[in-house]
Structure 1
Amino acid sequence: MPTTVDSAKAKNLSFVLEAVHKVKFEDRPVPTLKNPHDVLVNVKFTGICGSDVHYWQHGSIGPFVVKEPMVLGHESSGIVTEVGPAVTTLKPGDRVALEPGVPCRRCEPCKSGKYNLCLHMAFAATPPYDGTLAKYYILPEDFCYKLDDSVSLEEGALMEPLGVAVHITRQGEVKPGDSVVVFGAGPVGLLCCAVAKAFGASKIIAVDIQPARLEFAKKYAATGTFEPARVDSTINAERLRSEHGLGRGADVVIDASGAEASVHTGIHAVRTGGTYVQGGMGRDIISFPIMAACTKELNVRGSFRYGSGDYKLAQDLVATGKINVKELITGIVKFTDAEQAFAQVKEGKGIKTLIAGPDN
């Protein structure tokens, strides 16, 4: 169990990862505004992402290693409590969704419009930067998105995974009438299905090895589902195309799983000249069906976080009713039960669990 503090007296209660499997609640100083364009946000809800759980379980993701105590969390919404003197678009009391990665704005990727690829990105809960599982968090005003009156703070916390799904689907250039296959029916995969539907895709097939997730996907946004068998990927791809009338293959295939078998099946399931998007992250190195990718002249694209316009579009899709994110929320836990919530997510329980802010 994590070390606890008196939450009633805490000024800025934070959920801190000290080492692998070792977390604590710590009352940290309330951050102060140092940049005139920054705002101070009272965090109200935070979703648990797989990366948060991975840091808790392993202490690192690729080159990002937890060397000092780090506040977890990056899928958050909250209420503005203070603004810098240069802030013009927000005021205290505004409800906002937080985009948790702040780019340098000066490197070549930033200047070319690809700030998600910033060489000096400061991303919440990615070492050495603290995350949002705290009472207060500071961000620049342009990375805080004022929520429409029709969008709740709970929904606001899902703008982060929805922003990821918007970026992935944009990378696939999904357009009206397209057939789309999405591998992985976790939160991001389900949201990719929803975004593809909002973009006008006529056929959306969700693929997963868990029947319960496929059942949810069919009710949520997919027009069909597919459960692969433990056979060669070419056989699964052929059955997928046949069962869902995809002919030569899908126009767009999205992998939101990171599983090597899904990558193989997806490359074989996309049509000649189609687009394959890798959104899920698995092992650093996997085998890849390079012959199929070459002879089919596929457009193979990666996808990383979110870029310009993705968060705004995510909120617009929710505010206009084109995407319902409420259905993905399967539980809200107290801040002091954060570690228990992490354990439930690790065990695959529910779809999206939210942690209420310390004073919620």
Structure 2
Amino acid sequence: MGKGGMSHEEAPKGLEENMAAWLVGLNTLKIQPFKIPSLGPHDVRVRMKAVGICGSDVHYLKTLKCAHFEVKEPMVIGHECAGVIEEVGSEVKHLVPGDRVALEPGISCWRCNLCKDGRYNLCPDMKFFATPPVHGSLAHQVVHPADLCFKLPENVSLEEGAMCEPLSVGVHACRRAEIGPETTALVMGAGPIGLVTMLAARAFGVPRIVIVDVDDHRLCVAKQLGADDIVKVTTDMKDVDAEVEEIRKAMGADIDVTFDCAGFNKTMSTALAATRCGGKVCLVGMGHGEMTVPLTPAAAREVDVIGVFRYKNTWPLCLEFLKSGKIDVKPLITHRFGFSQKEVEDAFETSARGGNAIKVMFNL
């Protein structure tokens, strides 16, 4: 079976000029030809239309590393994507050329115990777009398994389709924390993942959400997107106790679940202290590889710490939320760029700078 852009096999005739954005070195992106594998019976060839920039893409550009993954040879970047089906494999029955689809970027093995147990996001042999050594999707065309391509409802745009990837992180976090209409939620961090987690929590029925950040602009965006209250905090560890009091006051009720979407010593310490006895802290962000946090007092209050890695089986629900209007991701897309050498460089600089940029999107 052809795996999405993972080999340099001969491309089918007429596809020789497929171009992609390659990460070729530190802070260096180049648009270069990209040969895609031939179509397997269960694969589709997709013309990319919308690709978003994720924090991990920026990490790879700036450091050639993200978590324990390292870029050792040139790699096509990008994994938040949607496009239009150009060609389908002989066994593909549910998609036809012309269908608009959102792509789930991870191909698991389906043979290991984790896959068999339904936890395929933890598959040790996962082939994930733009996670070395696997090539990504910021290209004119890619080949991908058909079962990981989800047809977009008519009222959902290609850009919104690409936003299913970050939104999936929020949806998976909400499922892991088992939130609903009877749980309150605190969200640490109002970056893209904090904001999609907040939107997902609301769609799951959470009645009250407070969001915390160090940045005024991001908090303002969170408020506009529907946070019930916002709290500005510092990066200083000695402020934790006072800030916990302020956060509890803002919630005006027990904090049942806290989502740490930053993942620093300070945010995790605050989350553990602010969450009620018997509550849950869901660690979504991975700011620090290692943390020093007051785990013992939290354990003595039976606060559960839940880990989250990517997502599983989230695209159908994300598309349902977008189709029904329960979630609107359009305000998160703040910047748009085309697919020229200069625009690719400018787009990544815009995303890396942060500021008022939330989601930077390529329109191919």
Normalised-by-shorter TM-score class: over 0.9
Give the superposition deviation at 1:288.
1.6
Give distance in 2, aligned partners of 1:74 and 1:191. Answer: 17
Give distance in 2, aligned partners of 1:292 and 1:270. Answer: 12
Per mean C-alpha deviation after superposition, the further-off stretch among 233-242 and 67-76 is 233-242
Give distance in 2, aligned partners of 1:344 and 1:62. Answer: 22
Give the superposition deviation at 1:62.
2.9
Give the superposition deviation at 1:244.
2.8
Give distance in 1, aligned partners of 2:193 and 2:266. Answer: 18
Which amino acid in the other structure matches residue 146 of structure 1? Answer: K
Question: Aligned to 2:290, what secondary structure does the other structure show?
Answer: coil
Could you say which residue in structure 2 is the equivalent of 1:91? Answer: 96
Give distance in 2, aligned partners of 1:96 and 1:263. Answer: 37
1:164 corresponds to 2:132: no
Give distance in 1, aligned partners of 2:123 and 2:346. Answer: 34
C-alpha distance after superposition, 1:34-54 (max 9, x if no partner): x21111100001000000000
Give the superposition deviation at 1:242.
2.0
Q: TM-score, normalised by structure 2?
A: 0.92
**1:206–1:214 Cα contact (<8 Å) kept:** yes
Could you say which residue in structure 2 is the equivalent of 1:314? Answer: 318
Which amino acid in the other structure matches residue 78 of structure 1? Answer: G
Which amino acid in the other structure matches residue 226 of structure 1? Answer: V
**1:31–1:136 Cα contact (<8 Å) kept:** no
The runs of at least 4 consecutive aligned structure 1 residues that moved more than 4 Å come to none
1:326 corresponds to 2:326: no
Could you say which residue in structure 1 is the equivalent of 2:359? Answer: 352
Give distance in 1, aligned partners of 2:285 and 2:141. Answer: 30
Give distance in 2, aligned partners of 1:175 and 1:30. Answer: 43
Could you say which residue in structure 2 is the equivalent of 1:25? Answer: 31
Could you say which residue in structure 1 is the equivalent of 2:3? Answer: none
Over aligned residues, Cα RMSD in angstroms? 1.3
Give distance in 1, aligned partners of 2:260 and 2:250. Answer: 19
**1:190–1:221 Cα contact (<8 Å) kept:** no
Give distance in 2, aligned partners of 1:44 and 1:318. Answer: 18
Give the superposition deviation at 1:29.
2.5
**2:42–2:146 Cα contact (<8 Å) kept:** yes
Question: Aligned to 2:92, what secondary structure does the other structure show?
Answer: coil
Question: Aligned to 1:177, what secondary structure does the other structure show?
Answer: coil
Unpaired runs of 5+ residues, structure 1, are 1-8
Could you say which residue in structure 1 is the equivalent of 2:86? Answer: 81
Query: What is the number of equivalent residue pairs in this alignment?
Result: 345
Give distance in 1, aligned partners of 2:201 and 2:321. Answer: 12
Which amino acid in the other structure matches residue 326 of structure 1? Answer: K
Identity, % of aligned pairs?
42
Give distance in 1, aligned partners of 2:232 and 2:35. Answer: 49
Could you say which residue in structure 2 is the equivalent of 1:4? Answer: none
Equivalent in 118, 123, 126 of residue 118 of structure 1: 123
Could you say which residue in structure 2 is the equivalent of 1:238? Answer: 245
Give the superposition deviation at 1:10.
7.6
